[in-house]
Amino acid sequence: MEMAVSARTVEEIFKDYSARRTAILRALTLDVDQFYGLCDPEKENLCLYGHPNESWEVALPAEEVPPELPEPALGINFARDGMNRKDWLSLVAVHSDSWLISVAFYLAARLNRNERKRLYIMINDLPTVFEEVTERKPVKDKPSIESGSKSQGSTKRSSDGQLKSSPKTAGVDDEDDEDEHGETLCGRCGGNYNADEFWIGCDVCERWFHGKCVKITPAKAESIKQYKCPSCSTKSGRQ
């Protein structure tokens, strides 16, 4: 049997993840009564599957060992009648999030380090199944002003509304800056931080971008009162 991880790009894996996620969400929201009825505690160990065609299924686990893909949580039906319905659905949602991630990164086995990071960023931009089912808003990390942990040669606004940019110094300071921010990734291309490039931070989602990726120059940034990345600007326009 040929491994399912062959010839997969970041975009293909993300499309697969999104379709399976949509299917799981439908089972736990729009089709929740049908899903609840199928999870009979009197039946054998059951699993909730989301398929790439956006359909969902409650079924027994795969018989083949090892399975072609990672398997979802086993026996979700057993706890159904012993828990509050909302709590049980939340538990299934948490396990489903874990399964979706495991499938995505199983398919990503042949990707390189930067491609895996880009895939994770794309996945992390979506609310989790748990957040959707429980109607919780994702909590966004806020940078520490004191530490300056996100002031990497870029622009960001201080609490007094003034535009500030972190100066770049030569020699040892540049090396320290690279070490401190080396794991920071561009929210658009997924590329690593480079102290020699101009970066700008979104005031809404707190992500950082290469200026060239969002078509913002240092001069243009000076005239922007509040910067919104393309994704946040699109969301604002829909409201």
Query: In whole angstroms, what is the distance from residue 65 CA to residue 4 CA?
Result: 15
Helix axes 113-124, 10-28, angle to 10 degrees: 30
Residue pLDDT, tens place only, 174-212: 455 444 455 678 888 888 777 778 888 888 888 888 888
Residue 82's closest CA among 133, 32, 33, 41?
A: 41
Tell how far CA 21 is from the center of its chain. 12
- pTM of the predicted protein model: 0.58
CA distance 13 to 4: 11
DSSP bridge partners of 50? 56
Taking the C-alpha atoms of residue 55 and residue 61, their distance in angstroms, rounded to an integer, is 17
Q: Is the peptide bond before 218 cis (omega within 30 degrees of 0)?
A: no
User: Quick check: 170 pLDDT over 70?
Assistant: no
Better pLDDT: 12 or 182: 12
Percent helix / strand / coil, the chain, rounded to 5: 40, 10, 50
pLDDT tens-digit map of 29-79: 999 999 999 999 999 999 999 999 999 999 999 888 788 899 999 999 999
Residue found under tokens 């320290």 = 176
Please provide residue 123's backbone torsions phi and psi, each rounded to the nearest 5 degrees. Answer: -65, -40
The DSSP line for 178-237 is HHHHTT-B-TTT-PBP-TTS-EEE-TTT--EEEGGGTT--HHHHTT-SS---HHHHHHHH
